[in-house]
Amino acid sequence: MAIDIIWIRDDASLAKHCAEWRRLPFVALDTEFMRVDTFYPKAGLVQVGDSERAFLIDPLLIGDWSPFAELLEDHAVLKVLHACSEDLEVFMRLTGALPQPLLDTQLAAGYLGIGYSMGYSRLVQAVLGIELPKDETRSDWLQRPLTEMQVRYAAEDVQHLAELYAALEPRLTDPKRAWVLEDGAELVANLRREVIPEELYREAKLGWKLTRAQLAVLRELCAWRETEARLRDQPRNRILREHSLWPLARFQPDNLVALARIDDMHPRTVRQDGNTLLKLIREAAETPPEQWPEKLPEPLPPEASPLLKQLRAVGQAEAERLGMAPELMLRKKHLEALLKTGFPDGPYSLPEGLRGWRRELMGQALLDTLATAGQ
């Protein structure tokens, strides 16, 4: 069946269509972008579906995104996307706005027990019985003109997304629909949360093995890497590889030869930023003790594994009862955070990350499981 494709290539046309979309109960949204060697995604196309037509917005020709930002933030219009974390980054970069309310069809499929973390093509095949072409997923979306195949691929994607929502939505009970929307709101909230470069050392692998003095160096390295990646619009690993951070903080080289010997250190980094890194390490090593970060918590010991398994079983039992993908119920990081509040002897308290319907549904059962295990 031929898809009715409408191109939007100027500000006036975008404003006109945004006004029309704001009168609809929902719109399907998708993006095509390039992110091969940049920090930020570069938008090549924005697609909007209204169940009947596919609208293709050329972001290279749009100057005023404010009408689209207003659509994204209009609570009367549901925004439907699939596996949308990178799409959200595109919208934030283009418009400064994020879609709300947001329903992610990948999450909806998990809540309906169809499958967890299903790719778009597989979900369309499972629900609609349609096989999508995969040829254009890695093509150049910044080239102009786009090929006929690219245009067809982009239009079909958003058209079938609207059809997918129409098929999934009636199967969602009121509680499950509320949970999907709650998870969508959390995705948006996470992206709105400002990333503070000076806090990123907390996420570095093996950071817990470092002394407080070494953590002061790691903190500066992580902050510098993040700031430079944004300024140069390059991937973080292009600036300084992830696996070099820990040994740099641990061994603190003081010359270029020693720097070049650090694990996974790219010669380009030594060439371009070697002296900067040496200066940064030297200055960070002189941080007075009262300004050192606190030690990072150690990971849970192997003895905690049986308890972790018991906690996971609480989520699995609830998933079975509700006909949901068990992976959606309780995230490993939240269960580990719960155990860290009191392991090995308790008492335990529910961590901040375990919130919303999950806390309501399973919070007490998790605490009861830990109390029983401790007896």
Give the per-residue pLDDT at 346: 87
The CATH number linked to 222 is 1.10.150.80
Write out the two tokens for 110. 């998990």
**DSSP secondary structure of 156-171:** HHHHHHHHHHHHHGGG
Q: Which of 50, 111, 120, 153 is catalytic?
A: 153
- 367, 348 in Cβ contact below 8 A? yes
pLDDT of amino acid 132:
85
Read off the CATH number of the domain in which 71 is found: 3.30.420.10
C-alpha 50/C-alpha 371 separation (Å) is 51
**Does 296 reside within a domain?**
no
> What mean pLDDT is predicted for residues 225-229?
98
Residues of the domain holding 207: 197-291
Give dist(CA 246, CA 214) in Å, integer. Answer: 9
Task: Please tell me the predicted confidence (pLDDT) of residue 1.
Answer: 59
Instruction: Round to whole Å and give the CA distance between 65 and 85.
Output: 20
First to last CA, the chain: 64
**Statement: residue 374 has pLDDT above 90:** no
| Residue 278: count of CB within 10 angstroms of its CB | 18
- Portion of the chain with pLDDT greater than 90, in percent: 94
- Element (DSSP H or E) covering residue 231: helix 212-232
Q: Are 80 and 105 in contact (CB under 8 A)?
A: yes
pLDDT tens readout for residues 142-199: 999 999 999 999 999 999 999 999 999 999 999 999 999 999 999 999 999 989 999 9
What's the pLDDT score for residue 375?
Answer: 62
Compute the distance between CA of residue 126 and CA of residue 163 in angstroms, rounded to an integer. Answer: 13
Q: Among 50, 74, 87, 89, which one carries the catalytic annotation?
A: 87
153 is catalytic: yes
Q: Which of 32, 74, 136, 220 is catalytic?
A: 32
- Which of 50, 156, 157, 220 is flagged as catalytic? 157
Instruction: Output the pLDDT for position 137.
Output: 64
Claim to verify: residue 209 and residue 344 sit in the same structural domain:
no
**345 plus 369 within the same structural domain:** yes
- Which tens digit of pLDDT belongs to each residue from 56-100? 999 999 999 999 999 999 999 999 999 999 999 999 999 999 999
Q: Among 169, 192, 215, identify where a domain stops.
A: 192
pLDDT exceeds 70 at position 343: yes
- Label residue 2 by pLDDT band (50, 70, 90): confident
Provide mean pLDDT across the span 340-360. 93
30 assigned to active site: yes
Number of domains, the chain: 3
The pLDDT score that the predictor gives to residue 135 is 64
> Do residues 234 and 91 both lie within one domain?
no
Out of 30, 104, 156, 228, the active site residue is 30
The span from the CA of 257 to the CA of 274, in Å, is 10
Q: Is 157 a catalytic residue?
A: yes
* Domain-terminating residue out of 167, 192, 217: 192
pLDDT, one tens digit per residue, over 151-166 is 999 999 999 999 999 9
Whether residue 154 sits in one domain with residue 81: yes
For range 125-130, the mean pLDDT = 95
Same domain assignment for residues 286 and 137: no
Q: Do 18 and 143 share a domain, yes or no?
A: yes
Residue 32 falls in the annotated catalytic set: yes
pLDDT bin (cut points 50, 70, 90) of residue 139 is confident
Q: What is residue 263's predicted lDDT score, i.e. its pLDDT? A: 94
* pTM across the whole model: 0.92
Q: Domain for residue 297, yes or no?
A: no
Please state, in angstroms and rounded to a whole number, the distance separating the CA atoms of residues 241 and 278: 16
Looking at the fold, whether 137 and 72 belong to one and the same domain comes out as: yes
pLDDT digit string, tens, across residues 6-51: 999 999 999 999 999 999 999 999 999 999 899 999 999 999 999 8
Confidence at residue 44, expressed as pLDDT on a 0 to 100 scale: 97
- The rounded mean pLDDT for the chain is 95
